[in-house]
Structure 1
Amino acid sequence: MRYLFILLTLALAACGDDNTTVTETRPPAPDALTAHSQVFKQGVEKVTDGVYVAIGYGLANSIMLEGDDGIIIVDTMETVEEGHRVLAAFREITDKPIKALIYTHNHADHVFGARAFAAPGEVPVYAHESTGYYINRVVNQIRPIITARSMRMFGHHLPDGERINDGIGPFLGVAEDSELFALPPDHTVDEQLEVTIAGLRLQLVHAPGETNDQLFVWLPDKKVVLSGDNIYQAFPNLYTIRGTPYRDTQQWVASLDKIRALGADYLVPSHTRPLKGADTIEETLTAYRDAIQYVHDQTLRYMNKGYTPDQIVERVHLPPHLAENPWLQPFYGKVSWSIRSVFDGYLGWFDGNPSTLQPLPEGERARHMADLAGGESALLDKAREALVQGDAQWALSLTDDLAVLRPDDDQVADLRAAALRRLAEGEANPNARNYYFTSAREAADGLKPGFRTLPPDGFLATLPIDNFLNAMPAFLKAEDTLDAEEKLGFEFTDSGRAFTLVIRHGVAVVHEGLDDDTAAVLVTREPVWKQIAAGQRNPAMALAGDDLDIRGGKIAALRILGYFEKMD
């Protein structure tokens, strides 16, 4: 994937001669969102003796625990470059060696800066036992779509003014030339693990919530809890619009109750600023868990009455004492998104309305909408009228149909972009604002959100070869293989491992071991195939340079590989 930085100025006041001053008109933004940026003022804050948190260097925080003869780093930022900046700030406090890394969970902004703090195998890396799986899942299986949607949500392609902040941090600091290098966890936690590192007694406790692998870290002698991402100063992302597995809200509430029971004097989240004082922490945690439970319980209440998600969204809102809480403002998650996620988590995609059970194909629906309006031109006029009258959501909805009917019409694209920008300008939720503005650039300017930073060889070496091969079936062009029954072998000379890729009438299956009836066998070393799969190396060049050999039919091998979308 490639970066596409298209920074189009929305409005320029420019005319006359060379002395004319060109100014950019910044799009409107709600005052509350602009003020929220103060939460991410950059710097290292001392929480209590031996506990420091770096805030504002990227999307997430990084936390340093200072012990007798060393330090522990909890969460490592999203890039190695950011990790180096944070470590430099920590080094102004102490030069004690790093004794361990701890990941509170698998999200990229907590793990991909790890190489800045240690080399592979240099220090123990603690995490939940499933964290490695989730890191590999994003790297290999759903990278293209999760990257594109994340870039919309975090406003990566937007200039300042369109993007104000990212809700739980100032920005996602990944650039095209960023180095991403997560060290694999080698000390894993099931439900709870107590360890002493650098003289510090720590309890690592499994606390599923925003992710299934979430941990919190409890320092009982200091009464400090590092809460990971189960609480931050914004309404929680019970569902994230970039897309993730279902976030079990009941587990999230239970995990917050575990933290409440500690009676902590200091709470240090992995986003936003720490809290101090047992009473303040208790009140904040109680409000936070109550808000989650309220949304969950009231959604179930109306589900059981037979209401659809749209109908429930109209009815369920936080009560005033929660809606006014400064830690529950909708700067990251939203109640409406959460309701839809809870519904889907219990009942799946079908909302219960029979008209949605087998909806019309979008082309037919669009044609009917145009007929109702009096034709395509009339439908376009209706959409324009809606925008002029201030109903940007309805205008945007109508452009859904127009885009199907007139996919190459610049008038439709411009109208759609205008509706998206109007929605963005009034949106206090950064995820929604960024998504709208980015989508507007996609419609009007041809922006293709997403990128791919090439992982260094050292990071690729930490990922099992199985992951690269098991990712292949999801990229199969099934329509090209409906009549195919073929096998391709993979033999890795350095590890002695072998695999067979089976193509069977539109389905691809990978299993360990080499079948006797393969059409060909690719013979190489694991690092070579990882580089090819990661897009770092041209397979033809590897073949010419003797790093890749094909035993058997080369034409057959190339044909089988051609059945797959490029994984870039």
Structure 2
Amino acid sequence: MTPAKVPTKRLLTLIIATLCLNSNAAFALVDAKPASASTIKANEAVKTQLPFNDKQDFADAARGFIAKPETLTIKDDKGNVVWDQEQYKTYIGLDKAAPDTVNPSLWRNAQLTMQYGLFKVTDDIFQVRGFDLSNITFIKGDKGWIVFDPLISPDTAKAALAFINEKEGKRPVLAVIYSHSHVDHYGGAAGLFSTPEERKNAQVIAPEGFTEHAVSENVIAGNAMGRRAVYMYGALLPRNAQGGVNGGLGQTVSTGVPSLIVPTKLITKTGEELDIDGVKMVFQMTPGTEAPAEMNTWFPQHKALWMAENTTNTMHNILTLRGAQVRDALKWSTYLNETIETWGDQVEVKFQSHHWPRWDNANIVDYFKKQRDLYKYIHDQSVRLMNMGYTGEEISEQIKLPPELENFWPNRGYYGTLRHNSRAIYQRYMGWYSGNPSDLDNLPPEMVGPKYIEFMGGEAEVLKKAKASFDKGEYRWVAEVLKHLVFANPNNKEGKLLLADTLEQLGYQAESGPWRSVYLQGAYELRNGVPTAGGTNTASPDTIRAMPPSMLFDYLAVRLNPEKAAGKQMTINIDFTDINEKHSLNIENAVLNHTTRYADKPDTTVTLTKKVLDDIQLGQTTLEQEIASGQVKITGDSKKFSEFVGMLDKFNFWFNIVTP
């Protein structure tokens, strides 16, 4: 049968939302307001509540400093800016007091993360900080560099390598080690190699399960996660004291296209040892903590402990605001206890993929215990209150840290927060349902909004009361009330603007960088509408090529439109000739299932290589071109295949969040 031409721009396409947000697409924050009297009072109170006279973090952040470029703006090969530290330097500095529009604790964190350049951690261990959201670490071996966690973008990793080579002498990269499966810890790897031969000869080491999780985490729910990541990282906010200040872990994310070099060796168990270029390493596996695949590393020659992202100088997320599976706080604390028991009597320096190191054994062990007990306390007390009958919302309002944990700077909520982490633990155990029958089949916002406004006396009366509450500084309450007004009538401009003003003040008061970003991005969209361009990068070619066919078919299954698939039944065989894999897709009951068991009597069969499929997804070719060239063959009922393609939804990235 003659191969048929099939519409292809909707075929086998995949958008993987990464953390790489396009800050070049930033908009001016229209009508940004100053801090209100209530916000000024709240932020002033922070100065008396926390030990701002403790300067140890500033000493640690500066310790071992070697050099920094006077200006730090990194561009890709096309001249596009992918990282710009300079925009933050115009308003954040050690000599600048916190503005009224920034929580003083968050400002302190931003001052610390702005300390950038090349630093010596201990003999033969160096870090380049402030070239991306994460740190890149260089271990000097006998002949070359061993690199830990090479940032997000190849461009930033390349710049960091060039800088350390300039200051410490040029050395080849002999090995790259990924601590875990988040993109800010592997995406820049390709930038470490000048030639394909260098890349081929280097060892690439990662924890077991790394590739699967690195590729899959944002696939199935990638569109929604990517949209919410715009809120979480403040990608579209201006860089000033009324906009983006800090991401908690670092300033923000770079915007280059991430690479993914697949590991050549996987670490599978705690205690496993490697000796690379004269550097001995002992690994501790910590799966299911900060990432599904993660590991710490002990350097016995240096008495140095690399903590990946299991301990940083902030409370981390049990559930990230962009969306993900809830992490296991109890397991997290258990692994930290194992760290203390294994190396606590030996460690003299601990360092990690964000923030600055800590030195001296007693200081480090005290830090480990307080980070361990932070996650254990949040877990235990959330579950205690849960078992007393409190819901997630009620728990988050009640739970308080004891003073010894509350006043410890590395436990402050710059990234995760006590409020949303406690609710995440409730969610992990109990799910979304509060147990109250009224919450079992409650109305969604677009249906409940008009009812609330009607019961409260209409829009004019609600606005009058909301303004009075706003003037009292009751911003949480005003946000709740005006949410209903906006969902009842999104054309009520006065209501939208007052809600924007409210979210803005909440953002100014937020200690968490992501909370600030979420509030201010919401305010921006209420004032200016939902953006239509920029905001996210699609998956890199390396990521697409690392994705197995089964993962693609899982993604196609969630794109299947049930109305279009209703009553349809078909079977499609797909033969990947280069990887010797055969898959069968079956559509029935408005569900797409896939299997490696080839169907005997398919409606149609598609024969192609995985490479051709990847090229089609990446837009480097089209299905029509590959059919015409003979690289893709379709046999059987080609109309069935066209029908299948027509059933697949294309997701709109810029869906509404703060408006219906």
Match of 1:146 among 206, 209, 225: 225
Q: Which 10-residue stretch deviates more, 287-296 or 491-500?
A: 491-500
* SS of residue matched to 2:427: helix
Partner of 1:16: none
Partner of 2:78: none
* SS of residue matched to 1:221: coil
TM-score (norm 1): 0.91
Partner of 2:251: 170
Residues 1:33 and 2:106 aligned together: yes
| 540 and 438 in structure 1: CA distance in 2 versus 1, 3 angstrom threshold | farther
Contact 1:44 1:53 in 2 (8 A): yes
Contact 1:468 1:530 in 2 (8 A): no
Q: In the TM superposition, what whole-angstrom CA distance separates every residue of 1:19-52 from its partner, at most 9, and x where no partner exists?
A: xxxxx9x981123222222322111210111111
The amino acid that maps onto 1:122 is N
| 336 and 459 in structure 1: CA distance in 2 versus 1, 3 angstrom threshold | closer
Contact 1:51 1:64 in 2 (8 A): yes
Distance 1:135 1:363 in 2: 36
Partner of 2:7: none
Partner of 2:69: none
Partner of 2:37: none
Distance 2:315 2:218 in 1: 28
| 139 and 424 in structure 1: CA distance in 2 versus 1, 3 angstrom threshold | closer
Partner of 2:128: 54
| 410 and 542 in structure 1: CA distance in 2 versus 1, 3 angstrom threshold | farther
Partner of 2:25: 5
Alpha-carbon deviation of 1:506? Answer: 1.6
Residues 1:86 and 2:164 aligned together: no
Distance 2:331 2:599 in 1: 44
Partner of 1:97: 172
Alpha-carbon deviation of 1:12? Answer: 8.8
> How big is the alpha-carbon RMSD for the aligned residues of Structure 1 and Structure 2?
2.5
List alignment gaps of at least 5 residues for structure 1. 14-23
* SS of residue matched to 1:232: coil
Residues 1:511 and 2:595 aligned together: yes
Q: Which 10-residue stretch deviates more, 458-467 or 249-258?
A: 458-467
The aligned runs of 1:212-227 (5 Å cut-off) are 212-227=292-307
Alpha-carbon deviation of 1:546? Answer: 4.7
Alpha-carbon deviation of 1:346? Answer: 1.7
Residues 1:533 and 2:608 aligned together: no
Distance 1:438 1:121 in 2: 43
The amino acid that maps onto 1:551 is T
Match of 2:269 among 177, 184, 191: 191
Partner of 1:158: 237
Alpha-carbon deviation of 1:563? Answer: 0.9
The aligned runs of 1:285-364 (5 Å cut-off) are 285-364=368-447
Contact 2:250 2:355 in 1 (8 A): yes
The aligned runs of 1:529-568 (5 Å cut-off) are 529-534=613-618, 537-544=621-628, 546-566=630-650
TM-score (norm 2): 0.79
Runs of 4+ in 1 over 6 A off after TM superposition: none
Q: In the TM superposition, what whole-angstrom CA distance separates every residue of 1:348-399 from its partner, at most 9, and x where no partner exists?
A: 2222323222223434422331221122443344434433442222222123
The amino acid that maps onto 2:473 is G
Match of 1:67 among 116, 141, 146: 141
Distance 1:222 1:231 in 2: 19
Alpha-carbon deviation of 1:408? Answer: 4.2
| 366 and 456 in structure 1: CA distance in 2 versus 1, 3 angstrom threshold | closer
Distance 1:447 1:70 in 2: 49
Contact 1:6 1:447 in 2 (8 A): no
Q: Report how many aligned residue pairs link the two structures.
A: 554
| 535 and 305 in structure 1: CA distance in 2 versus 1, 3 angstrom threshold | farther
Alpha-carbon deviation of 1:6? Answer: 4.6
Q: Which 10-residue stretch deviates more, 553-562 or 75-84?
A: 553-562
The amino acid that maps onto 2:202 is V
Q: In the TM superposition, what whole-angstrom CA distance separates every residue of 1:310-335 from its partner, at most 9, and x where no partner exists?
A: 22222211111211111112211111
| 412 and 486 in structure 1: CA distance in 2 versus 1, 3 angstrom threshold | farther
Contact 1:181 1:455 in 2 (8 A): no
Match of 2:497 among 385, 394, 414: 414
List alignment gaps of at least 5 residues for structure 2. 1-14, 16-20, 34-90, 92-98, 654-660
* SS of residue matched to 2:174: strand
Q: Which has the higher contact order (CA 8 A, sep 6+)?
A: 2
Distance 2:468 2:628 in 1: 61
Distance 2:394 2:360 in 1: 41
Contact 2:445 2:484 in 1 (8 A): yes
Distance 1:548 1:411 in 2: 57
Partner of 1:18: none
